[in-house]
Structure 1
Amino acid sequence: MIGKKLSLKADVIVGIGDLSKMTGVSTRQLRYWEEKGYIQAVPSKKNTTRKYKFEMSYKVQAIKRYLDQGYTLAKSVEQAEELRKKFEIWKKFIMDKVEKVEIVDAENDYGIIDLGDLEGDQNKRVYGVVDENGCHFEVRRQPDMDK
């Protein structure tokens, strides 16, 4: 077991009471959502406390957020699933394109994200900038490598 990485997504399991406390959704409501197939517990023996993968807390929080905004339960589940898919796309992009993150001002959480060469032009690089002006992109010319 030494050296094994723990994954919040795959390895951390929480009971229904903990999930309820983490999300602000009652255990009764969680059981109803499970009965409807909107959330899934980890398979277990009969007559044991329901357990959930930690990642289910994200889905429950998203469903609750949409319910609080006035969506129906079915529409909230649909919106939560769409949000999950969008996050997966975002994660793929970030994992593929972010080359380096430089902290410019740790106190204010300002920094520069290197997104690599501008497509089709290796003389220009794209950066995501977070500074006092908010978040924006910059395209910067690469210094001449010939000199």
Structure 2
Amino acid sequence: MRAFLSAGAEQKRRSFYILVHQLRGLCEWLYRRDDWALLRAHWKGVRDPEETIRLLSRPGRLTAGLNWYRANASLARMLAPPKPGEWGEERVSIPALGVWSAGEKYLVEDQMVRSGDYVDGVWTYARLEDAGHWMQEDAPEALSKLLLGHWRAAEAG
């Protein structure tokens, strides 16, 4: 998270939508408005937006998803990222895998690469060329191969 918050102006520009996510109630209303028109436009690359909308339509689901942004990427944190040591959780001591996709529209590559700065354990960075923001949908086989390889290597020590 720290690498994301300190990734610079381009990352903040790409993450502008997160500001809307901070507006509890209003954000949920905006997304549901006009039969989910805003999300349909936002999710042009999602393989099955209708299924995703169906799932998010269940009570509490949309708010639960938005709460991740509210808890982790608040406006205060985006404008003034905490200094090292203020969170207490910024060091990772276990093997970590960071995956970034070349078609990513919302996250800059630098924030993922620099995530390794916060890993004391083994850090592995991988870039998927043929995927976008929804890499688990765009390249499930390639992502699964990376994850399985990472877990096997970690298990082998």
| TM-score bin (small chain) | under 0.3
With structure 1 as the length reference, what TM-score do the two structures score?
A: 0.27
- Structure number with greater CO (CA < 8 Å, separation at least 6) is 2
Structure richer in strand, relative to its length: 1
With structure 2 as the length reference, what TM-score do the two structures score?
A: 0.26
Structure richer in helix, relative to its length: 2
